[in-house]
Each structure stands twice: as C-alpha cells, then as structure tokens.
Amino acid sequence: MSALHALSTAPVAHAGLDLARIRADFPILRQRVHGKPLVYLDNAASAQRPKAVIDAISECYSTYYANIHRGVHLLSERSTAAYEGAREKVRAFLNAASVQEIIFTRSTTESINLVASSFGGSMVKAGDEIVITGMEHHSNIVPWQLLCERTGATLKVVPFTDAGELILEEYERLLDSGRVKLVAVVHLSNALGTINPVKFMIELAHARGIPVLVDGAQSVPHLAVDVRVLDCEFYAFSSHKLYGPSGVGVLYGKQALLEAMPPYQGGGDMIRLVTFEKTEYADLPNKFEAGTPNIAGVIGLGAALDWLNAIGLDAVAAHEHELLDYATALLQQIPGLSIMGTARDKAALAAFTLQGVHPHDIGTILDREGVAIRAGHHCAQPVMQRYGVPATARASFAVYNTRDEVDALVKALWKVKELFE
C-alpha cells in the first residue's frame, strides 16, 4: 500500500475548485454508513442533489405551486414562469436555437422512446435500417428493436475494440448500405466511460443524408455540449445524473423535425382545439408535453443548471479527469483487478472485475466500508457479453468526489482481495 500513500500527496482538487465548499452543498454526503463516512461513487447511476436544488423544490411546494399554463391566478402564473424559465436555462445549457426545441419528458429513456415512436414511426418502413453501437444502454437499444418489430426494419450494430473504442471503418460501411434511416449513438458510455467521437460520426451520417440521435445521459454532467456545433437532430438526457431531481428528462430536437413529427401522447396541454370530430395540436414544445408535468422537478433541474454553471463544466471536467487518472493508477496496482474500458478518450468512471470475486460481493463488502459503487450489467448487457463477463463493479465520479475518497475505495478493494485469498 506504499504506492497509495505516495500518490496521495498530490493536489486534492483541480485549481479553482473549492471542494470543501462544493461538498458542503450536499447534505447527504455528511452521513456515515455502517459507521464509516459515506463515500458515494455511484454517480453514473444518479448524482446527488445540492441544497440549491432541494431548496428550489421546497420553495415551489411551500410558496407558489400550482398547475401551469392557462391559469390566471397568481400561483399558476408564478409556477408557469418558473417552469418555462427552466426551459430557457436548458436551451442555453445546450445552446439550442429556441426554447421550442426543448421538450420535457420523464427521462432519457422516454425521450428516446418519443423519437422512436414519433419520428421513427412516421419515417421507418420495412427494409430500412437503424444503426446503433455495441456499447449502448438498453434504453438506446430496446426502443429501436420495438420499432423494427413494428415496421420490418433491421437494427445494425457498430462493433468496438477490446479497449472500448468504436470501429469507425465498420460504422462507415454500415452507413453506405443506402437503407439507413437513423443513427442512434451514446455520447459517453455508462459501462466503459468511452467518449465517442459523436461530432465526426454525425458528419459522416449527414454526408449521406442520415439524421442522428445522441444519448447524452452520461455526458452532460461531465462535458460541455453544444447541439448546434454537434449539429445532431436529437439529443436526450436526464436531470438526475445532472444534480437535479429524478423523473425529469429532456429531449432536444431540431425545430423543423419536431414540427413535422406527430404527437407522442394525447391529452391535456398538447392541444389547441378538441371536438369529437377532430383535434388541432398546440405549437411546440407543448405538442409533446401531454398532461400535467413534473413541475417542481423541472424547476429543480433549472436550479441544478444554475448551480453547475456557477462552478463551470470545464473545471468539473478537469477535476474528474484528475480523479479518474489517479484512481486508474491505483486500481492497476491491485493483483487480479482488470479495468474494462481503456479508451484513449474516457471520462468519469472505472469499471472493473477482480479475479475470483463476483462484482456483487465486491459491492456488498465495499458498502460495509461506507463506499457506494454499482455492481451489475449497468443496463448494458451486450457490453458484458462482448467481454465475456456477467457483470462488473463500477466506481463513477462527480464534482464533489475527492482523492481521499478514491483512497477509501482502493483500501476497501484491498480488503476484498484479502478476504477472498
């Protein structure tokens, strides 16, 4: 363990980040688990919420909550202003051209299902192809499988190397079939940490007239995203990985496409006029937001974006990159530990196996040491099949994590190894 102590003398945070202040924003991090200080390293599943988000939700419910739109009383007007103000914050965060391009959903999963059902259902037919990659989350696989079953289209999969990097030559070969109607690609893999070259992939697809959806669930907490620079047709992400509430998702879509797409669900707030003979739909973004939404959750997402913008994504990314490098160096010193996913462009997480120990046993023992990680297939079973493993253990990082917490992780893993020797 001497190497651990030697490496621990390095700086504890990226220059410009006040980690003590940042951590103080998160009440949940102050607790002890099984008598040990909580080390929360399950951020790829869900990040924690700063007090600013908790307060924003509490204020909404305590002082001005009411159903949004159409109400003429003060509480409804305040709720509507806060809700639509959050939409503008999301627009600015993504640098979308208009708030009409920002659709609120329940999750990344629902955002992708919306595109598969509405855009895919109106554009895809028998004999067509949809291209995804081998490292997709189930949420960017199953909706397209369902679409293919309904339409007779075929799903094509871009393979990746042992290091966890897409084989772009194979991607180009798939695009050249002349039958591809959509590409759907993950920006940052939740199972490997790979940052895919989505801008280049979008350019290759557009050269052939093919639209692209990007699954940004893992990328938005760690990377600056500009949808106009990427030029993707659709971009989807979730609030709960971005320090915001659960139950809120976002779909960005180019306005012309969204206007041409049929509604995903029918009901209140997505209509302009309803008679028993016909229905006229509301303008964007309301056309895709049927029913009463998660009002306080969306307002909480807006507060999360304010909080994150005040820190700066560049500083966040630099800090997390240092943590990942530090953790990788220490993990590689544990005999029998193998890191899955060693792409040159990688962020935020380390997934690994330990010879002779099931990942669930790793997770259970680490929990007794106060260290929270994720163990399982991470809703990416094809990735596990690619490496011939049933599951991995995954430590994933956020802006509030520290080198001391990486040390606690590694110390606990040495304990796991000793217990199974």
Which residues are known catalytic residues? 379
User: Do you find a cis peptide bond into 263, omega within 30 degrees of 0?
Assistant: no
15 secondary structure, DSSP code = T
The C-alpha atoms of residue 5 and residue 1 are separated, in whole angstroms, by 7
Task: Please name the residues in contact with 306: beta carbons below 8 A apart, sequence gap of 6 or more.
Answer: 52, 89
For residue 225, give the 3-state DSSP assignment: coil
For residue 402, give the 3-state DSSP assignment: coil
Whether residue 399 contacts residue 316, with contact meaning beta carbons closer than 8 Å, is answered with: yes
Helices 313-331 and 403-420, axial angle in degrees (round to 10): 30
Instruction: Tell me which residue of 272, 297, 390 sits closest to 86, measured CA to CA.
Output: 297
140 secondary structure, DSSP code = G
The C-alpha atoms of residue 262 and residue 119 are separated, in whole angstroms, by 8
230 secondary structure, DSSP code = H
The C-alpha atoms of residue 312 and residue 306 are separated, in whole angstroms, by 10
Token match 């988000």: residue?
53
Whether residue 153 contacts residue 124, with contact meaning beta carbons closer than 8 Å, is answered with: yes
Burial profile 155-191: b = 16 or more Cβ within 10 angstroms, e = fewer: ebbbebeeebbbeeebbeebbeeeebbbbbbbbbbbb
The C-alpha atoms of residue 380 and residue 401 are separated, in whole angstroms, by 25
In sequence order, what E strands does 152-193 have?
154-158, 180-186
Helices 74-94 and 295-311, axial angle in degrees (round to 10): 40
Whether residue 349 contacts residue 394, with contact meaning beta carbons closer than 8 Å, is answered with: yes
